[in-house]
Structures are given as C-alpha cells and as structure tokens.
C-alpha cells in the first residue's frame, strides 16, 4: 500500500478474501467457534472514498457497482448497521476527535458470500480515517478496534497478503503464499447468513492439514492441494443452499486444481492451473447463467508498514 501526503481525501481499495483452509476446533462459551483458518486476500476490491467534512458530521453513501449485484443483494444497510459507519464512529469515539468525514462506498464484492467484503470495508475505514484525521495509533490499537467490529476485520490490517487466523478469527499470524493462485469465484443469486451456517455446522473428521496445504501450495504437485483444502462450514452451507450444491457439482466436472466454499458462503471458488484456465472456467459458469463470476488472484505480501490489503490513493 502506498500512502501519499493528505490532500482533500483518500481513496481506498479494500480487497475480498478466500479461506483456503477453515477448521473449526470447537464451540466457545461466548457462542463463537474456535478456528484455525488460512485466509488470502485477492485482487477484487470495494472502493471507499473518504473526504473531510468541516461540519464535523459523519456520513456514508453506498452503491452497488453493477445492476446485477444490486439485484442479488439485500439493500446495503445505512446508519450504524453498516460496518463502515460503525468503524468510523468507533475510531472517532476512541480517539476523542470531533472531526467529520464524508464516506462513499462502491461495492463490487458481493455480500453474504464469505468473501469478507464488509469486514474489509471496515478495516479500510479504520486505516483511512486514522490517516485523514492524523490519529496517532499503533497497529495493535487498530487491531483491537478491528476485532470489536467483527472476527474477520483484523485480517485485513495484516502486513501480508495471507494469514493463519486463530481464536474466533481475530488472532493473526501473517504468512506469505509462495505464489499467486489463479482463482474463479462463483457467487450464486442467493447468499448465506453466517450465523445460520454456523448454527447448521456439525463436527466431522477430516484428514486435511494446514502445514501440508502450505507446503503443497508452494509446489507444483496438484494432488496434495486438493487433499488439504478444507472448509468445515461447507457441509452446512451445502445443506442450506441448493445453489451452492449445484456449483460444487459443476466444479467436480471441471479439471480445476481444487475447489471449495469460501468462509460461510455462498461464494464457491476453484484454484486453477493458470489464469487462462481460470478465464475458461469463468466463461463456462457465465454461459450457465451463474449470478456473479469473477477471475481473481491471491495478493502477494506488500509493504509491511501499511499492509498490502488496503491500497490508499490520494484524490
């Protein structure tokens, strides 16, 4: 991420993520689930624009980037139901500043998809507003604020493009994936609610292991990647969503490297052998009328001082 001196405002590109591995270790007393998950940020971005508001107000306007995204989504929540405004108020109250800001969010990442769009927007808000308002806060302080907003939010502050996340997802151990993975992501017309998918989850044994996956992702052998991908929420999502089941059945017929659900769904992704294959697979799903189909790649590690996930540009 490149930080420029402040002018009138900032534009932030907030990426989506996929879960390459998600193991549920158990249910906690606070109702959350203890996780071991490998998350990777990808080059599919929401766009957040932040400008100072001399009146001291905090305001947000949101729009979907395409009519298709608007059709398949619930209306974007306004007010404090929106994580972006919650993040802005949290930072403002924590810092004691009375400064205001006008925020505009252009959403390209579908919601209710397990792609972390809302969480990434919230992290982008914390980073950009702390710059705009010149708040002197450490990464650890920002991470604490992020964790109050949602389990996935701290990941988007991490200094590499990927991280192993533990606890309820908020304990971050950044790692670098050895190569950029070409992906196709398919989000059916219907989304899934994260709490509903967690409620449906039933424990099941799996032989997949995270260290083996990390080794496999570094190499060229294809079998071990497929054997060590894991998403413990997938069976629950499949039982709730015929659309996801259909995408999975279709993926099984294609010669992709591996495929699985991202997070709590309903987005489902394939790791492809090349970008060319990813484009062919995307064309295949588009022909079959899938609602949202995206070719993307995992992001590499970047500027450790700022995190690669959030790209800030002066406007």
The two beta strands, 100-107 and 58-64, are: parallel
Closest CA to 142 of 151, 150, 154: 154
Closest distance of CB 170 from ligand C5P, Å: 8
Closest distance of CB 197 from ligand C5P, Å: 8
By CB under 6 A, residue 32 contacts ligand C5P: yes
By CB under 6 A, residue 262 contacts ligand C5P: no
By CB under 6 A, residue 11 contacts ligand C5P: no
DSSP 21-39: EEEEEEE-TTS-EEEEEEE
By CB under 6 A, residue 35 contacts ligand C5P: yes
Provide the b/e sequence for 103-119 (b: ≥16 CB within 10 Å): bbbebbbbbbbbbbbbb
Residue 17 among the catalytic residues = yes
Q: Which of 46, 152, 232, 243 is catalytic?
A: 152
Spatial distance between the Cα atoms of 59 and 193, rounded to a whole number of angstroms: 27
Site for ligand C5P in 72-101 (CB under 6 A): none
Q: Which stretch binds ligand C5P (CB under 6 A): 59-67, 96-104, 144-152, 242-250?
A: 144-152
Nearer to ligand C5P, 163 or 217 (CB): 163
Provide the b/e sequence for 47-84 (b: ≥16 CB within 10 Å): bbbbbbeeeeebebebebeeeebeebbeebeeeeebbb
By CB under 6 A, residue 161 contacts ligand C5P: no
76: β partners: none
Q: Which of 15, 150, 182, 307 binds ligand C5P (CB under 6 A)?
A: 150
Residue 107 among the catalytic residues = no
Closest distance of CB 33 from ligand C5P, Å: 4
Q: Where are the alpha helices (DSSP H) in the chain?
A: 67-71, 83-95, 117-132, 139-149, 194-200, 210-218, 223-228, 234-240, 242-252, 275-287
By CB under 6 A, residue 191 contacts ligand C5P: no
User: What are the phi and psi torsion angles at 196 (to 5°)?
Assistant: -65, -40
DSSP 166-199: ETTTTEEEEE--SSPPEEEEEE-SS---HHHHHH
By CB under 6 A, residue 169 contacts ligand C5P: yes
**Pair 123, 156: CB distance under 8 Å:** yes
By CB under 6 A, residue 114 contacts ligand C5P: no
Nearer to ligand C5P, 168 or 284 (CB): 168
Q: Which of 151, 260, 297, 298 binds ligand C5P (CB under 6 A)?
A: 151
Closest distance of CB 200 from ligand C5P, Å: 11
Nearer to ligand C5P, 157 or 217 (CB): 157
Where do contacts with ligand C5P occur on this chain (CB under 6 A)?
32-33, 35, 150-152, 168-169, 194-195, 198
* Catalytic (active-site) positions: 17, 152
């Amino acid at each position: 991420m490149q930080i420029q001196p402040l002018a009138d405002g900032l534009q932030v590109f907030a990426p989506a993520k996929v879960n390459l591995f998600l193991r549920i270790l158990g249910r906690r007393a606070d109702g959350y689930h203890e996780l071991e998950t490998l998350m990777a940020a990808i080059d599919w971005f929401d766009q957040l624009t932040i400008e100072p508001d001399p009146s001291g107000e905090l305001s947000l306007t949101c729009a979907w980037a395409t009519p298709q995204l608007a059709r398949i989504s619930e209306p974007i929540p306004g007010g404090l139901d929106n994580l972006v405004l919650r993040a802005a108020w949290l930072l403002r109250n924590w810092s004691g500043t009375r400064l205001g800001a006008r925020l505009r969010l252009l959403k390209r990442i579908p919601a209710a998809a397990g792609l972390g769009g809302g969480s990434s927007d919230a992290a982008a808000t914390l980073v950009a507003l702390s710059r705009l308002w010149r708040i002197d806060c450490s990464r650890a302080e920002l991470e604490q604020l992020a964790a109050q907003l949602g389990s996935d939010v701290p990941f988007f502050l991490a200094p590499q493009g990927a991280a192993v996340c533990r606890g309820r997802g908020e304990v971050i151990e950044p790692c670098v994936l050895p190569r950029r993975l070409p992906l196709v992501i398919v989000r059916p017309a219907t989304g899934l609610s994260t709490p509903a998918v967690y409620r449906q989850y039933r424990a099941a044994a799996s032989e997949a292991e995270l260290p083996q996956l990390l080794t496999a992702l570094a190499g060229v052998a294809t079998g071990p990647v497929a054997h060590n991908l894991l998403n413990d929420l997938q069976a629950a999502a499949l039982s709730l969503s015929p659309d996801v089941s259909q995408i999975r059945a279709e993926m099984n017929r294609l010669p992709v490297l591996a495929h699985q659900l991202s997070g709590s769904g309903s987005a489902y992704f394939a790791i492809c052998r090349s970008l060319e294959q990813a484009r062919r697979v995307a064309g295949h799903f588009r022909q079959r009328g899938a609602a949202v189909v995206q070719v993307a790649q995992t992001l590499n590690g970047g500027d450790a001082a700022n995190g690669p996930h959030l790209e800030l540009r002066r406007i």
